[in-house]
Amino acid sequence: MNPSKNPPFLSIVIPAKNEAGSLRSLLPKLIDQFPNAEIIVVNDGSTDETSEVCKEFRVVLVNHVYSMGNGAAIKTGARTATADTIVFMDADGQHNPADIHRLIDKMDEGYEMVVGARNASGQASFARRIANNVYNRLASVMTGYKIDDLTSGFRIVRARHFRRFLYLLPNGFSYPTTSTMAFFRSGLPVGYIPIQAEKREGKSNIRLFKDGLRFFIIIIKVGSLFSPMRLFLPISLLLFVTGLSYYLFTFITEHRFTNMSALLFVTSVLVFLIGILSEQVSALHYKDSDMERRRTRRDEK
């Protein structure tokens, strides 16, 4: 634990599962560059020497009795952190500690979250580059903002904002997806800096196809929760246009109104109404954000 009585200016949270080898080289670099920071390693049920390696260095170690997932480790780290600003980074050696300075500088421009956006060479494989590009574009449509890297685990956040969304974060590998879209939906500015992600040490715990499908499902879920009309309105319009086209076709060829046309029209209306209802439910998640922004404006005056 940081021996200073004053709260640290920065907390660095590192979720780790069987990352003893990479932590042995990463932790000294962090301690050297950020001697006054609070470094928290969340050991997510590792079966190697991760815990022993952390005890060799001046870091805060939190152990999960069994593996609960990357997102669960992130939530544990966020709850443990005592600084107002938190950096999240991977334990596998992909993220350069020197880039933390750039994250801090970018946040000082007025952002509440800054994400390290990987370039093409920083992606593990061609298939993963294609998948991440699709996710980024789809998430940009859902949120209405340009998202450079939806799944990057290297980011800096204001702790008070991030903790408000902990109950929304999944326990798996898609916490960056949910947190990014939550910040955008709350009207909190999100910035990006380009980074060069190094080749990871050890074997990845992410399975491309299985977790890629999960990422896609999470985007749809988050889109329906945070920006429902961006999801439901196009679907409703597509169903309506399909029903109208089918009706015109059957009217011209058979001079009748079919049950299929009626079904498509009714379904389009139901989807539209579900979108409106979801929009109202979504707004309830952010009423505290609106109240906080109004309170902040009053304090500034």
Residue type at position 212: G
Give yes or no: residues 175 and 295 share one domain.
no
With residue 131 as reference, give the H or E element that holds it: helix 126-143
Residuewise pLDDT in 10s, the chain (301 residues): 444 445 678 999 999 999 999 999 999 999 999 999 999 999 999 999 999 999 999 899 999 999 999 999 999 999 999 999 999 999 988 899 999 999 999 999 999 999 999 876 555 556 667 777 877 887 788 777 888 888 889 999 999 999 988 988 888 767 888 898 889 888 899 999 999 887 655 555 555 555 667 666 766 766 776 778 888 899 999 999 999 999 999 999 988 899 999 999 999 999 999 988 888 877 776 666 555 555 545 554 5
Same structural domain, 147 and 263: no
Query: Residue 172 is encoded by which pair of tokens?
Result: 């798996």
Closest to 176 measured CA to CA, from 211, 130, 126: 211
Instruction: Provide the pLDDT for residue 74.
Output: 96
Judge if 141 and 280 occupy the same domain: no
| Residue 170 domain-assigned (yes or no) | yes
Residues 194, 283: one domain?
Answer: no
- pTM flag (> 0.85): no
Phi, psi of 42 (to 5 degrees): -100, 105
Residues 216 and 263 in one domain: no
What is the total count of domains within the chain? 2
Letter for the amino acid at 121?
S
**Are residue 215 and residue 132 in the same domain, yes or no?**
yes
Residues in the chain: 301
d(CA 261, CA 189): 44
What CATH number has the domain bearing residue 108? 3.90.550.10
Domain boundary among 226, 247, 263: 226
In a domain, 3, yes or no: no
Residue ranges in 81-125 assigned as alpha helix (H): 99-107
| Per-residue pLDDT at 128 | 67
Residue 15 pairs with which residues in a beta bridge? 42
**pLDDT score, position 263:** 95
Domain boundary among the residues 206, 226, 246 is at 226
Same domain, 194 and 290: no
In a domain, 4, yes or no: no
Contacts of residue 107, Cβ cutoff 8 Å, sequence gap at least 6: 85, 113, 114, 156, 191
**Residue 72 and residue 53 in one domain:** yes
Residue 142: per-residue pLDDT = 77
Q: Is residue 1 part of a domain?
A: no
Determine, yes or no, domain membership for 41: yes
Asked, for residue 46, whether it belongs to a domain, the answer is yes
Q: Which domain holds residue 195?
A: 11-226
Give dist(CA 204, CA 215) in Å, integer: 16
Question: Crossing angle of helices 175-185/126-143, nearest 10°?
Answer: 20
Instruction: Report whether 226 contacts 178 (CB < 8 A).
Output: no
Two structure tokens written together for 88: 């999240």
Question: 271 and 141 in one domain?
Answer: no
Question: Is 2 part of any domain?
Answer: no
Tell whether 144 and 259 lie within a shared domain.
no
Where a domain ends, among 168, 192, 226? 226
Same domain, yes or no: 204 and 252: no
- pLDDT recorded at residue 2: 43
Q: Which sign, positive or negative, has the C-alpha torsion 170, 78, 115, 15?
A: negative
d(CA 128, CA 99): 23
**Same domain assignment for residues 66 and 81:** yes
Q: What is the pLDDT of residue 203?
A: 53
Give the residue carrying structure tokens 């889109």. Answer: 223
